[in-house]
């Protein structure tokens, strides 16, 4: 086990509680922004790299990355269109059916989603005649939502935007925030904003990848500059409590490698009492040592070992004269490839269903991205699945590679080959 280093350089403070950050969770070295896909014209230009150095707060145990790049530079033109994943669309549809029933939502209700992307989720409320408002800072994806008939405000969310929304449209019965909490630099302002737009008896549901799963399943590639925070239930609860919101229920989900869905309401809302499964999860996190710094210091060793094993596998495959192609061009793939130093020396190309990414190159590694048809043309021996959280869906869609003896490779939690 390596000894955790004290941070050198500029002193940072915890974005939740303000305590100075001293303790390294993992240091993945320098990496480019994982959503900055490189166009052919940019190939010979300089590319900015930033540290991927993750800390853990000794006071509130929030695992976090410094804000090396402001969200304005990351999210105003975003390459991630939620609707390109069937699994994610199913997840959204199931959620809408569940929550509409649980809260008794109807055409008099109002639903808001922060970071509503291309309207992948709100469209299902629209189908049920439940009024919605999306809030999405990336203009290119927001316009796609508007085109589908999902009213969308092109803004970053926080207290200021929240006050404007309340003035113009009133408060919401349900506020949804899926996979955005991690991407918020000013966590307290964001959660305060949700409180502001929430009706006195309203409900907030928040989804984010669970830190327990990140640690246990070695999901270090979900760390990237766009993700500032990595939450346990205990660390998330502190943020909500500080803004006068109480968590009253939690669900564990399979999405994004294992996520939590928190249900929150106003602290003074007596109509909501805590569920037994909430108490149970809190207890489990405590038992796993999530309130003990030493627990966090073991993670980095597993990450280094994963890198060594992945390189051993790729070297052996290349020595045997086999070809490897990637599948997908997700943000997480870029952390993995840059940290492991895997370029076209190991992976010839990758493919993605998102036309926005096709014809471009992965940041840092400059692996070219083609439409999925390229796989049938080249017939690689191995298909390396970068978005491993969708591995079942992808192995289904691409089952035809077995016709030419192709095999699937999944890198996380450890390199696994699926014949």
State the residues that interact with Zn ion by CB under 5 A: 14, 16-17, 19, 57, 59-60, 62
Question: Of 6 and 167, which CB lies nearer to Zn ion in the complex structure?
Answer: 6
DSSP string, 45-67: S----EEEEEEE-TTT--EEE--
Least distance in angstroms from the C-beta of 231 to Zn ion: 12
CB 353 within 8 A of CB 387: no
Closest CA to 363 of 381, 387, 395, 339: 339
Least distance (Å) between residue 61 CB and Zn ion: 7
Q: How far apart are CA 26 and CA 51, in angstroms?
A: 11
Radius of gyration of the chain measured on its C-alpha atoms: 21
Closest separation between CB of residue 316 and Zn ion, Å? 43
Please state the closest distance from residue 333 (CB atom) to Zn ion, in A: 30
* Edge-to-edge strand ranges of the sheet holding 369-370: 369-370, 350-351, 324-327, 382-385, 407-410, 416-418
Closest CA to 275 of 253, 254, 247: 247
Q: Which is nearer to Zn ion, 19 or 39 (CB)?
A: 19
Residue (22 or 148) nearer to Zn ion, CB: 22
Strand partners, 253: 259
CB 173 within 8 A of CB 107: no
Considering the complex, what minimum distance in angstroms separates the CB of residue 63 from Zn ion? Answer: 10
In the bound state with Zn ion, the residue whose beta carbon lies nearer, of 24 and 335, is: 24
Nearer to Zn ion, 17 or 303 (CB): 17
CA distance linking residue 247 with residue 242, whole number of Å: 12
d(CA 242, CA 265): 13
Min dist. Cβ of residue 62 to Zn ion (A): 5
64/85 with CB nearer Zn ion: 64
Q: Residue 390: is it exposed, middle or buried by C-beta count within 10 angstroms (0-12/13-18/19+)?
A: buried
Residue 19 Cβ vs Zn ion, minimum distance, rounded to whole Å: 5
End-to-end distance of the chain based on CA atoms, in angstroms? 34
Q: Which is nearer to Zn ion, 239 or 386 (CB)?
A: 239
SS3 state of residue 288: coil
């Amino acid at each position: 086990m390596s000894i955790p280093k004290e941070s050198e350089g500029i002193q940072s403070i915890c974005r939740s509680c303000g305590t100075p950050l001293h303790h390294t969770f993992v240091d993945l070295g320098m990496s480019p922004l994982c959503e900055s896909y490189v166009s052919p014209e940019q190939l010979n230009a300089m590319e900015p790299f930033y540290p991927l150095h993750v800390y853990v707060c000794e006071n509130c145990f929030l695992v976090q990355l410094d804000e090396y790049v402001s969200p304005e530079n990351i999210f105003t033109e975003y390459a991630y269109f939620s609707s390109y994943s069937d699994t994610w669309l199913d997840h959204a549809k199931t959620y809408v059916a569940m929550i509409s029933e649980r809260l008794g939502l109807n055409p008099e209700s109002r639903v808001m989603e922060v970071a509503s992307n291309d309207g992948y989720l709100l469209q299902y409320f629209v189908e049920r005649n439940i009024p919605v408002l999306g809030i999405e800072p990336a203009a290119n994806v927001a316009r796609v939502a508007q085109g589908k008939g999902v009213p969308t405000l092109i803004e970053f969310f926080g207290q200021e935007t929240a006050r404007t929304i309340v003035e113009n449209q009133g408060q919401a019965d349900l506020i949804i925030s899926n996979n955005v909490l991690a991407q918020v630099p000013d966590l307290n302002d964001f959660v305060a904003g949700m409180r502001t737009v929430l009706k006195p008896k309203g409900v907030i549901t928040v989804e984010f990848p669970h830190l327990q799963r990140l640690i246990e399943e070695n999901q270090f590639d979900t760390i990237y500059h766009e993700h500032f925070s990595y939450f346990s239930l205990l660390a998330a609860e502190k943020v909500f409590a500080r803004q006068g919101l109480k968590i009253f229920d939690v669900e564990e989900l399979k999405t994004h490698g294992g996520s939590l869905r928190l249900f929150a309401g106003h602290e003074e809302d007596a109509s909501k009492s805590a569920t037994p499964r909430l108490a149970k999860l809190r207890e489990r996190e405590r038992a796993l040592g999530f309130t003990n710094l030493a627990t966090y210091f073991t993670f980095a060793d597993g990450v280094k070992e994963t890198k060594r094993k992945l390189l051993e596998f790729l070297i052996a495959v290349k020595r045997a004269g086999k070809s490897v192609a990637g599948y997908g061009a997700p943000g997480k793939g870029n952390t993995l490839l840059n940290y492991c130093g895997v370029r076209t020396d190991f992976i010839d190309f990758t493919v993605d269903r998102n036309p926005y990414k096709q014809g471009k190159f992965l940041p840092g590694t400059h692996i070219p991205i083609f439409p999925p048809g390229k796989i049938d043309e080249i017939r690689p021996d191995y298909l390396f699945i970068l978005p491993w959280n969708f591995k079942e869906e992808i192995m289904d869609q691409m089952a035809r590679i077995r016709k030419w003896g192709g095999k699937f490779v999944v890198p996380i939690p450890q390199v696994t080959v699926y014949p």
